[in-house]
Structure 1
Amino acid sequence: MDWISVGLWIALVIVSFMWLMPFVFILLSSLKTQSEIVTNLPWTLPGVWQFQNYARAAETGDIWTLGLNSALIALVKVPLGIFIAALCAFALARLKVRWHRIILGIIAMGALVPVQVALGPLFSMMLQFDLLNTKVGVLLPYLAFGISFQVFILYGFFRSVPRELDEAAILDGASSWRLFWQIVVPLAKPALAALFILDFVGTWNEYPMALALLQTHDQFTVPLGITSFQHEHGADYGAMNAYIVLSVLPVLLVYLMFQRYFVNGAFSGAVKG
């Protein structure tokens, strides 16, 4: 018997249990009455399944409007940001760009800037350009803060692609665009899918910049909606937990769609620089 494998499986089960149990408690609480949540243990099943908690949470918290706001921002920002980062990383990794390592270092430094430090200047800038409390005013900072990390990861992945593919494509008359779109990008699908998941989750859950730049409820994203719901209806524990479950579903759906690529691509850009 391979005791190392057994130990790893036991550790995996324990860690999975620790990560899963809070969500199970939230899910069960979202289906209980107020009295059951207060008096019963968190892991007990509901006496009567209160599915109306979800309808009340969606209506009271305006989850559809806020979810649409978050979806629009994420579905524009994530593909656009990854596309721009892929172009930049391809140019630095595959083309003859002078001082490409210095440029890469400057870009990578952007990932080290804490969001909290930039909130004041961002607010003033968006106010000056009349973009405060708009989706565009949130999209632009999201792109700026996300692209640097994506370039750094994709650069490492693109560098690991054999140079012989470039030479063969160039001999066949391929342009740089064709080399990027038809050869390098298909090979980078695992890394791109992993970045898509990470970036979608980060964009969907982003809170500080949204809090600073969005001011009216009709422009709020889901994380701001959770805070607003908690302040106004925090005593309604069933609906509050139902609201949290509804806010997690889109992220879970995206992960399930791309999870087969995630393990192979999550850290593929870190193996070679």
Structure 2
Amino acid sequence: MTSVVPTAALPAATIAGTAPTGRSKRKGGIGTTVVMTLVALLWISPLVLLVVTAFRPLADFVSHGPLSWPATFTWKNFADAWDIGNFATTYRNSALLLIMKVPVGVFISAMLAYALAKLRIRFGAAIMYTVFLGLTIPIYITIVPVFVMARSLGITDNLLGLVGPYLAFGIPFEVLVLQSFFRQLPDEIIEAAKIDGAGPWRIFLTIVLPLSAPALVTVLILDAVATWNEFLFALILLNSDAHKTIPVGLLNFQGQFSNNSTGLAAGILIAVVPILIAYTFLQRWIVGGLTAGASKG
């Protein structure tokens, strides 16, 4: 018969050797906190330097260097940058491009991902690998073919000319995320809807899409950020100032602000403010959507 030794009868050294003390736990926690804090400060330091430079006078920047704390702050850099960067026009163009491209891209990706994940289609595996092959194609090797096709269609220097290339390079990643999420949806729900007489479109629109809201919001946000920041195709296909997007509009600072670092910093900050706001308030959706289909549960 096995006897149980009370804890009070055990030597203090035995107890101390088998269980970590509260002091060691606190030391480990403090050390991890310090390391993570230093990493976070290092990671955010470029943004802090950008913000400080954008608010400091040019004379102070030239006199004391970029790493010094300014004696005064000014809003004049932003007023000058807004005019020279033509942000009133570029913001409108980037917003219109988001409205035209992002919802269409997410909806097409959702349909394709649902078909690959839940429907029995011929050559489904071949179609899936072909779509994912688009993730391996560098954007740079498609510049000439895309420009030739856009010019033959007469859609250069037009925001509509960017929708096709943006869809082609955005859909593979969105399908990758969504089909992984759709595979985790219970088949019993879809089968029950079929028994009740629901067709494929009704199941997709009224059951699959509402249940997939976290993944849909994630790809929507990531696609919007990628579209807002895209530079290469916009530079190649857009010529006139009336059709330029924000990344291309930043080229207006070249020459005018060649020596005005504070004005250039203000222009960059104006351009990235929507992205910073989006990531700040929607990061929970981004992380949740990317990890929702990672495991079964």
Q: TM-score, normalised by structure 2?
A: 0.85
State the AA in 1 paired with 2:273. L
Superposition map of 1:83-94 within 5 A: 83-94=107-118
1:38 aligns with 2:62: yes
Displacement of 1:245 in angstroms is: 0.6
Question: What is the CA–CA distance in structure 2 between the aligned matches of 1:142 and 1:78, rounded to whole Å?
Answer: 9
Superposition map of 1:79-118 within 5 A: 79-118=103-142
Q: Is the contact between residue 94 and residue 158 of structure 1 (CA under 8 Å) also seen in structure 2?
A: yes
1:252 aligns with 2:283: no
State the AA in 2 paired with 1:92. L
1:185 aligns with 2:209: yes
**Could you give the per-residue CA deviations for residues 226-250 of structure 1, whole angstroms, max 9, x where no partner exists?**
1231333232222211111110111
**Could you give the per-residue CA deviations for residues 119-167 of structure 1, whole angstroms, max 9, x where no partner exists?**
0011111111001111001111101111111112211110111111111
Match of 1:53 in 2: 77
Superposition map of 1:148-163 within 5 A: 148-163=172-187
Structure 1, unaligned stretches of length 5 or more? none
User: 3-state SS of the aligned residue for 2:91?
Assistant: helix
Match of 2:265 in 1: 241
Superposition map of 1:102-181 within 5 A: 102-181=126-205
State the AA in 1 paired with 2:134. G
Question: What is the CA–CA distance in structure 2 between the aligned matches of 1:172 and 1:9, rounded to whole Å?
Answer: 55
Question: What is the CA–CA distance in structure 1 between the aligned matches of 2:32 and 2:160, rounded to whole Å?
Answer: 46
Identity %: 36
Question: What is the CA–CA distance in structure 1 between the aligned matches of 2:123 and 2:110, rounded to whole Å?
Answer: 18
Match of 2:93 in 1: 69
Which of the pair has more CA radius of gyration?
A: 2
Between stretches 154-163 and 247-256, larger displacement belongs to 247-256
Structure 2, unaligned stretches of length 5 or more? 1-24
Between stretches 25-34 and 185-194, larger displacement belongs to 185-194
Q: 1:198 to 1:2 in 2, by over 3 A?
A: farther
Within the candidate set 251, 272, 294, 1:227 is matched to: 251
Displacement of 1:25 in angstroms is: 0.7
Question: What is the CA–CA distance in structure 2 between the aligned matches of 1:112 and 1:155, rounded to whole Å?
Answer: 18
Question: What is the CA–CA distance in structure 2 between the aligned matches of 1:90 and 1:270, rounded to whole Å?
Answer: 17
Q: Is the contact between residue 32 and residue 238 of structure 1 (CA under 8 Å) also seen in structure 2?
A: yes
**Could you give the per-residue CA deviations for residues 93-112 of structure 1, whole angstroms, max 9, x where no partner exists?**
11121221111001111121
Q: Is the contact between residue 153 and residue 270 of structure 1 (CA under 8 Å) also seen in structure 2?
A: no
Q: 1:11 to 1:218 in 2, by over 3 A?
A: farther
User: 3-state SS of the aligned residue for 1:28?
Assistant: helix
Displacement of 1:15 in angstroms is: 2.8
Within the candidate set 260, 265, 273, 2:289 is matched to: 265
Question: What is the CA–CA distance in structure 1 between the aligned matches of 2:210 and 2:32, rounded to whole Å?
Answer: 34
Between stretches 69-78 and 251-260, larger displacement belongs to 251-260
Match of 1:208 in 2: 232
State the AA in 2 paired with 1:99. F
Question: What is the CA–CA distance in structure 2 between the aligned matches of 1:209 and 1:137, rounded to whole Å?
Answer: 9
Displacement of 1:3 in angstroms is: 6.3
> Cα RMSD (Å) of the superposition?
2.0
> How many pairs does the alignment contain?
272
Q: TM-score, normalised by structure 1?
A: 0.92
Question: What is the CA–CA distance in structure 1 between the aligned matches of 2:35 and 2:287, rounded to whole Å?
Answer: 18
